[in-house]
């Protein structure tokens, strides 16, 4: 998993330890705790470098612009998730929820906030992508802008 092309600082075995479920019925994405906390840290650094201040609400890690202005979606960090035979490059709108007060909050949480021990790729992350299952080859992939 990368943020703006930089790999997360987490033992690669963490990605193999828990499978990930693609769940169109779950809005947000839930990562194993070690992966989530590495993601959270890397995102905080990337957002700080882009002029955002870390903030919290009751349910998520959020960010506010340090200077007044609206969110520049194209300037936000790019997140890439790498699977065994598929990569998923997420546009910022698939990574953040925009709040009425102008803050943006991560649509990612540690697994303990959902079902402990289970990673879930939620539908916010896969919006604007078609999830393609190849039952003969026992693989899946993502097609961008296919919906």
Phi-psi region of 117 (alpha: psi -120 to 50; beta: other; left: phi over 0): left
Phi-psi region of 51 (alpha: psi -120 to 50; beta: other; left: phi over 0): left
Q: List, edge to edge, every strand of the sheet that includes 29-31.
A: 20-22, 119-121, 29-31, 108-110
**pLDDT reading at 86 higher than 90:** no
* Domain membership of residue 52 as a residue range: 2-144
State the CATH number of the domain containing residue 9: 2.40.70.10
Q: How many domains does the chain have?
A: 1
Report residue 123's pLDDT band, with 50, 70 and 90 as the boundaries: very high
Task: Give Cα separations from 17 to 43, 50, 65, 117 (angstroms).
Answer: 23, 33, 36, 9
**pLDDT reading at 113 higher than 70:** no
**pLDDT reading at 97 higher than 90:** yes
Its pTM surpasses 0.85: yes
């Amino acid at each position: 998993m990368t943020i703006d092309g930089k790999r997360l600082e987490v033992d690669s075995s963490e990605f193999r330890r828990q499978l990930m479920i693609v769940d169109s019925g779950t809005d947000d994405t839930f990562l194993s705790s070690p992966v989530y906390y590495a993601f959270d840290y890397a995102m905080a650094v990337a957002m700080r470098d882009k002029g955002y201040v870390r903030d919290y609400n009751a349910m998520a890690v959020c960010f506010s612009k340090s200077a007044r202005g609206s969110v520049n979606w194209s300037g936000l960090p790019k997140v890439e998730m790498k699977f065994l035979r598929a990569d998923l490059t997420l546009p910022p709108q698939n990574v953040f929820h925009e709040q009425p007060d102008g803050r943006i909050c991560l649509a990612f949480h540690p697994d303990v906030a959902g079902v402990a021990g289970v990673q879930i790729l939620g539908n916010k992350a896969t919006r604007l992508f078609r999830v393609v299952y190849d039952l003969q080859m026992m693989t899946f992939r993502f097609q961008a802008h296919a919906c």
